[in-house]
Amino acid sequence: MSTNDTEAGGLTEVDIEAAEAATEFVTFTIAGQLFGIHVLKVQDVLGSMKTTRVPLAPPEIAGSLNLRGRIVTAIDVRLRLGLPQESQEVSMAIVVEHEHELYSLLVDQVGEVLALAPDGFERNPPTLDPRFRDYSDGIYRLDKQLLVVLSVERLLDYGRVAA
Amino acid sequence: MDDLLSEFLTETNEGLGVLDVELVKLEQNPNDPELLSNIFRLMHTIKGTCGFLGLPRLESVAHSGENILGRVRDGELEVTAEAVSLILECLDRIREILAVLEATESEPAGDDSELISRLDACAEGRSAGSAPAASADSTEEAPAEAVATEEAETAEVSSDEEAAAAETVVAAAETEEMTDAPDTGEAEAGEPDHGELVAAEAEEVSSENVVNLAEAASPAAQPDAPAAAKPAAQPTGEAAAPKESSVANQSIRVNVELLENLMTMVSELVLTRNQLLQILRSQKETEFAAPLQRLNHVVSELQEGVMKTRMQPIGNAWAKLPRIIRDLANELGKKIDLKMKGADTELDRQVLDLIKDPLTHMVRNSADHGLETPAERRRSGKPETGTVLLDAYHEGGHIIIEIADDGKGLNSQAIKRKAISNGIASEAEMESLSDQQIMQFIFKPGFSTAEKVTSVSGRGVGMDVVRTNIERIGGTIELSSVAGKGTKFTIKIPLTLAIVSALIVECASERFAIPQISVIELVRTSSRSENQIERIKDTPVLRLRNRLLPLVSLRELLRLDGFGLPEPEAEKDDHFIVVAQVGTYTFGIIVDRVFDTEEIVVKPVAPILRDIQLFSGNTILGDGSVVMILDPNGIASQTGEINVTDAHGDTAEQRLQRREDEVALLVFRSGDDSPKAVPLALVARLEEIDLSQVEDSNGQHVVQYRGVLMPLVSMEADRKLAEEGRQPVLVFSDRGRSMGLVVDDIVDIVEGRLNVELTSDRLGYVGSAVVGGKATDIIDAGYFLTQAFRDWFDVDTHESFGEGAANRVLLVDDSPFFRNLLAPLLTTAGYDVTSVEGAQEALNLCEAGRDFDIIVSDIEMPGMNGFELAEQIRANRWADTPIVALTSHASPRDIARGRAVGFRDYVAKLDRDALLTSLQDTLSDHRGAA
């Protein structure tokens, strides 16, 4: 099965080899790029939800939604990363908590949870797009593609960017 | 039953339950110091609370029991079965007394001296001496102990002993706090170690919730109470068998987290219910209808009940204040009357917790620093008893808490000296500051105005901490102080977390909530109805009962145009206006639709969105959708009206100053190209008249307008009106008569400072001012009024001044504009007007021997303000001359202050009618009195 699984092709070997040292990531794609968020940061994965838009908010704020009685701010990660907007009907969201507030990160597609061994990890190449460099903790070399580790803290730290 | 008493019964019964268990444990394990000190603390609490509530019998029994425990704890006494039995017996006696207390609300008569003497004997280690007594007791002990252990098993609400212990520690912390407060003056809990303290805090919070929980359930619970209490009372006479307290059973301690979880689950339930109802609506006939309706009701009630558990009356935070004030009064030798209003104003538990300490501190401050000693008060002619007033109420979507005292007021000189000596500001800086600004220094760290540090306040934990705490929850604190009259702090806490009633509106297919509290009325407009939105240039306005109401388009304000579906053209002119009021400013918000009002729980917005001033929070509506809550304050300040919200670094006075200076002016053209302006407030309506309707009558152009003839007046004497077409006209209305001022076109409405720089001799002009960056002629509306009706102002003259001699009016106003506007007006009304530009000039006139029948004074003036002028006048030759205050912002607070310093009346500057009426009334009152 591992041979014809294109998304995570060949990863199973890594899984077995480095199961102990491995870190688990929830993966997702935006504009074809594979990203990962540390699995412990993720509270929930949502499908499309009824979202209230917030006038006058920065463009990447997609709105607010009600998740089991808590108000969650939805952030279009695509716009936050400076990627062009793309009208896509079905989008998925990953709910994370940051400083006691819940945020729903809108992404194109949520993939599976991968356990990645530290030896595949590399720091951001200095030539990386500044926005990506800002929000990325580093890169994992997977067999067929690269996974950008998204830093929830920095992605949502609006105070720092404004300052 | 008294809240305090029932709380005491609950806590003591819990404490007794735990004690039973712990004592038995101690007997088996006599060398556990932790256990022992816990027991000691529990006993101490019971004793302390009894003393606090004035229950001498209970107190003395508990005291003797505590003595033994104290000696055991100090290692002076061995833990023996005998001692433990004796203490258990002591507990049983306490329980007996409690049972009666619960039934009758008073301590039963009875003699405990025998038990006490045995307890004391034991405490002194004389167990040998009292051996016979002890052995005689042992027969009783056995059943007592049996009961006790049995009790221990049943009384354990939770089997988790640790939790139970933690709970009673709370009781300890709480009561120690109460009893210790007078000694230390600080609301610090006893000395439980850190872990316990945390537990104590958590539990304290939940114990407060308990009250509400009990209330929520009260319809069911209350009728039971007497019934339950009676059977409990009966056996006490016959047998000493301890009974479960029914009061204790009425409330339970619940972890706050549990409540929060409940709340979340209820929200989920509401959502599911709504989905079900949605489905139900699409199904015509179904047997689910009835049960679903039932479910609907139950869920609504459940939601309400759970919500209630979060809300608490602010009185809870005040409960300790009367005691604190009483002790303070004793300690400081002052007579203090603490008045509390609005104690039932409900606040979210969390907010309540956070403001509790700042409030206590401020009340203490008012009593300590603010109020004078009786002797001082007598000297300054005040009643000996000083008053501290606490007032809480909802306003404009905020909770306002006022703490006012009628003491000596803040001493700005002392603050100045202190600030300079503490190096907070230099002398030069201080010189340029007004008194109000100087007073703000008390909010700086390290400030205390008390000349000497008392045990009560002045230890450096001052107003800066208070301010920080209040600002932390997004509140503001303001201060106003009048020397000799008192100081008032106004705390404004945002409605964050509080439940408010809100109006749900829609604009561009998005829904928003507007706090109901700032909504005055709703107006529906359409091109077909009487109410329609008109535009002056691009500014929308609405005629509402002879006034022009400035309008704000929510669509434009929130830039909603890109949002949602474009509005169908036909509906475009069908709008709703939400008339909102912020302070004294009234404006309309244009929305597409208005739904219902709904009770909402305000939640703070995510930090990312916090700088959008137009929202005060967001909330989840009954149907589960999230909506933003509009902040009328924010809207008002964003749309031009003077800064109503608290801009950073602005003192209250600066804000007043701005409000004072800014006037809405209607700018128009007539005759030549130079813009002309008139204060908008003087204009009743803007009309376009059909020139073919203009008739000539008595040498004047007139037009039939609303069933009466309205004369038309031109600014230029030789102006010829065209025969055809439409002509814009400014309508001035007064006492059922209207006059139309013919103008070429209406340019704009400008909010701005009005500073008449060039005065004019031309008839009909007040002078010139810079309006919207252009030199503009300010017209004298009064002049044109008399052009239309020569007797426009004469009505007053004839009615009130038949006596012949004109009344002499002294007009004090620093603004040349108003002097120039009002002086002719008053002159035409038959007064002999003298106008001066400041308080000092007015006083000079007084010294020069001039006399006036009435004084009309502005409030906000550079140098000496109107209040100070009034005070000065009260003390000089003019003391008998009535004074009327003239202001453009008459808040109730100002009015109260004005009355206090001797103003007879308060009149809005631009309200000509009110001014004339007031002058007339004041004069006739004055004559009548004289």
Residues B20 and B121 in one domain: yes
What is the pLDDT at residue B579?
A: 92
Instruction: Give residues 34 to 93 of A whose Cβ lies within 8 Å of B.
Output: 50-58, 61, 63-66, 68-71, 73
Domains in chain A: how many in total? 1
What is the pLDDT at residue A34?
A: 92
Beta bridge partners of A25: A38, A114
**Would the pLDDT of B139 be above 80?**
no
How many Å apart are CA B885 and CA B191, to the nearest integer?
57
What is the pLDDT at residue B89?
A: 84
What is the pLDDT at residue A23?
A: 86
- B820-833 tens-digit pLDDT: 677 767 776 777 78
Residues B81 and B170 in one domain: yes
What is the pLDDT at residue B192?
A: 41
Of B559, B607, B619, the CB nearest to A101: B607
Per the model's pLDDT, the better-predicted residue between B155 and B16 turns out to be B16
Question: Where do the H-state alpha helices sit in B396-535?
Answer: 412-421, 427-431, 435-439, 463-472
What is the pLDDT at residue B287?
A: 86
The CATH code of the domain that includes B17 is: 1.20.120.160
How many Å apart are CA B858 and CA B815, to the nearest integer?
9
Residues B680 and B628 in one domain: no
Residues B757 and B810 in one domain: no
Reduced to 3 states (helix: H, G, I; strand: E, B; else coil), residue A45 is: strand
Among B297, B313, B329, the domain boundary falls at: B313
Mean pLDDT of the region B142-154: 42
Taking alpha carbons only, the member of B418, B454, B411, B457 closest to residue B435 is: B411
> How far are the Cα atoms of B31, B32, B64, B124 from residue B75, in angstroms, in the given order?
10, 12, 17, 13
Report percent pLDDT > 90 for chain B: 2
Report percent pLDDT > 70 for chain A: 82
Please answer whether residues B764 and B777 qualify as being in contact, where contact means their C-beta atoms are separated by less than 8 angstroms.
no
Per the model's pLDDT, the better-predicted residue between A143 and B801 turns out to be A143
DSSP-derived secondary structure for B118-161: HHHHHHTTTTTTTHHHHHHHHHHHHHHHHHHHHHHHHH-SSS-H
What is the pLDDT at residue B103?
A: 81
What is the pLDDT at residue B211?
A: 41
B607 touches chain A (CB under 8 A): yes
What is the pLDDT at residue B817?
A: 65
pLDDT band at B475 (very low <50, low <70, confident <90, very high): low
Q: Which residues of chain B make contact with A158, given a CB cutoff of 8 A?
A: 607-608
B617-628 burial, b if ≥16 CB within 10 A, otherwise e?
bbbbbbbbbbbb
Of A55, A64, A73, the CB nearest to B558: A55
How many Å apart are CA B923 and CA B927, to the nearest integer?
6
pLDDT band at B734 (very low <50, low <70, confident <90, very high): low
- Please give the residue of chain A at the shortest CA–CA distance from B267: A69
What is the pLDDT at residue B233?
A: 39
- Both tokens of residue B587? 């404006």
Of B266, B511, B624, the CB nearest to A66: B624
Mean pLDDT estimate for chain B: 71
Please answer whether residues B678 and B776 qualify as being in contact, where contact means their C-beta atoms are separated by less than 8 angstroms.
no
Residues B433 and B485 in one domain: yes
**Would the pLDDT of A9 be above 90?**
no
pLDDT band at B763 (very low <50, low <70, confident <90, very high): confident
Residues B41 and B152 in one domain: yes
Residues B350 and B430 in one domain: yes
**What is the phi/psi pair of residue B122, to 5°?**
-65, -40
User: Looking up tokens 């012949």, which residue turns up?
Assistant: B804
Residue A35 lies in a domain: yes
Residue A160 lies in a domain: no
- B651-668 tens-digit pLDDT: 333 333 334 445 677 888
- B117-136 tens-digit pLDDT: 888 888 777 654 444 443 33
The CATH code of the domain that includes B286 is: 1.10.287
The CATH code of the domain that includes A104 is: 2.40.50.180
Residue A111 lies in a domain: yes
Report percent pLDDT > 70 for chain B: 70
Q: Which residues of chain B make contact with A66, given a CB cutoff of 8 A?
A: 267, 271, 620, 624-626
**What is the phi/psi pair of residue B710, to 5°?**
-115, 120
- Beta strand ranges found along chain A (DSSP E): 23-30, 33-38, 42-46, 61-67, 70-76, 92-98, 101-107, 109-116, 121-122, 136-141, 146-150
Please answer whether residues B503 and B621 qualify as being in contact, where contact means their C-beta atoms are separated by less than 8 angstroms.
no
Per the model's pLDDT, the better-predicted residue between B246 and B125 turns out to be B125
Helical (H) or strand (E) element with B30: none
The CATH code of the domain that includes B490 is: 3.30.565.10
Boundaries of domain holding B444: 315-494
User: Looking up tokens 């709910």, which residue turns up?
Assistant: A95
**Would the pLDDT of B32 be above 70?**
yes
Q: Which residues of chain B make contact with A64, given a CB cutoff of 8 A?
A: 605-606, 618, 626, 628
CA B451 to chain centre: 31
Please state which of the ranges A41-50, B169-178, B704-713 shows the lowest mean pLDDT. B169-178
Residue A106 lies in a domain: yes
Instruction: Give residues 506 to 545 of B whose Cβ lies within 8 Å of A.
Output: 510-511
Residues B50 and B176 in one domain: yes
Residues B105 and B231 in one domain: yes
Among B313, B336, B358, the domain boundary falls at: B313
Residue A162 lies in a domain: no
DSSP-derived secondary structure for B693-738: G-EEETTEEEEEETTEEEEEEESSTT----SSSEEEEEEEEETTEE
Domains in chain B: how many in total? 6
Boundaries of domain holding A59: 11-153
> How far are the Cα atoms of A40, B115, B154, B441 from residue B149, in angstroms, in the given order?
47, 21, 9, 62
Residues B272 and B229 in one domain: no
Mean pLDDT of the region B218-238: 40
What is the pLDDT at residue B19?
A: 81
Do B608 and A61 count as a contact with CB atoms less than 8 A apart? yes
- Please give the residue of chain B at the shortest CA–CA distance from A73: B606
Of A55, A68, A71, the CB nearest to B268: A68
Among B463, B494, B525, the domain boundary falls at: B494
Of B263, B563, B603, the CB nearest to A71: B603
Question: Where do the H-state alpha helices sit in B441-498?
Answer: 463-472
B771 touches chain A (CB under 8 A): no
Q: Give the amino acid at A6.
A: T
What is the pLDDT at residue B162?
A: 45
Residues B373 and B515 in one domain: no
Residue A52 lies in a domain: yes
| B131 CB-near residues (< 8 Å, 6+ apart) | none
Residue A1 lies in a domain: no
The CATH code of the domain that includes B621 is: 2.40.50.180
Residues B222 and B240 in one domain: yes
